[in-house]
Structure 1
């Protein structure tokens, strides 16, 4: 099991903004769809950082690099952004799997939709970070991302939203870098089933709380930076 994320804060443009940091004592292997550290490879740390819903920087990877540098994080890592308060992280376990979710559903979308010129807040975001205690093959890791995404959508539909997620959702799956590799990560494979169960519960719980209260850190703080 990897360590729990540690909550922290940073100051940007006069605002106190929360973040979560996973400082991994040993490198793990990761697959991620994140803007910083996406793809397959070693991972030494993860940051999930809150930004205002008005976030409009066009260089999020560089921004996350700045945040990581400010935390003295070195080596390859993964950076995530969201408009919700990451202090509201929800964790779920299932037979060795550990998954953390920050769930923002202020701007739900259907993945397949007609083109639109409408602009809206895109920083709400569902970010999912999962740990599997066995090495997964590269293909199984990619399959695990799909499985978690399917379970996320199942939870969103359970919450009554006709949506598949938001436009900026991201997934990170971590596993040991060595050892016999599990070949499959689909929803009926052992690790895929556990990831799906954990993701479904975490998104369901986190999404219900998000829909019931202020939809973003900015609204909760009654400010926008």
Structure 2
């Protein structure tokens, strides 16, 4: 069974959702038969490449909140990350265009190091005081993930390298009706939106394994079925904050 995960490195619920999914996968009896593929999704594709700034003022402007309210929003998300054992800086992080990161992630996929780079990119962006939007930092973590330094620098410098692969992922997301991330597709038959709890992912994996249907449909349509309901996501208008 194949699980495809559309996500963006700038999305905190993708970071949290990945950890929750992996816990759910660990509890799945057929986990060794599951192939996980990470797909590209840009939350802010029109943001200029060089426009990098602190995340708190960005959140305040996007939501029409004060800086104090934006900090409280981030602290709330941070508590969810910490509950999953993840590092998370509620302040002091940067925000920027993620296209180059996605391109290098596709290079990593071609070299069999995608999962390693994705973990490092999330950790750098959410838990460290380094900016993953800095090309030098991106190159550094790509090498740490096992990629060749010269090849990484070449891809970063060439804006066309793997650009088609990123755009193809984004077109597929649109065709599947995904307008927010994280978005999980199980065997191209079931869809789950948001950073659901680990037990929901385990239930969804089990259901997808047992029930094969020809068309993609959201899990959770049936009464009492928790899988596939509305989980926290990030979309073009921002990231949801749990109440």
Which interval holds the TM-score relative to the shorter structure? under 0.3
Structure that is richer in helix per residue: 2
Q: Normalising to structure 1: TM-score of the pair?
A: 0.26
Which has the greater radius of gyration?
2
Normalising by the residue count of structure 2, what TM-score does the alignment of the two structures yield? 0.25
Higher strand share: 1
Q: Which has the higher contact order (CA 8 A, sep 6+)?
A: 2
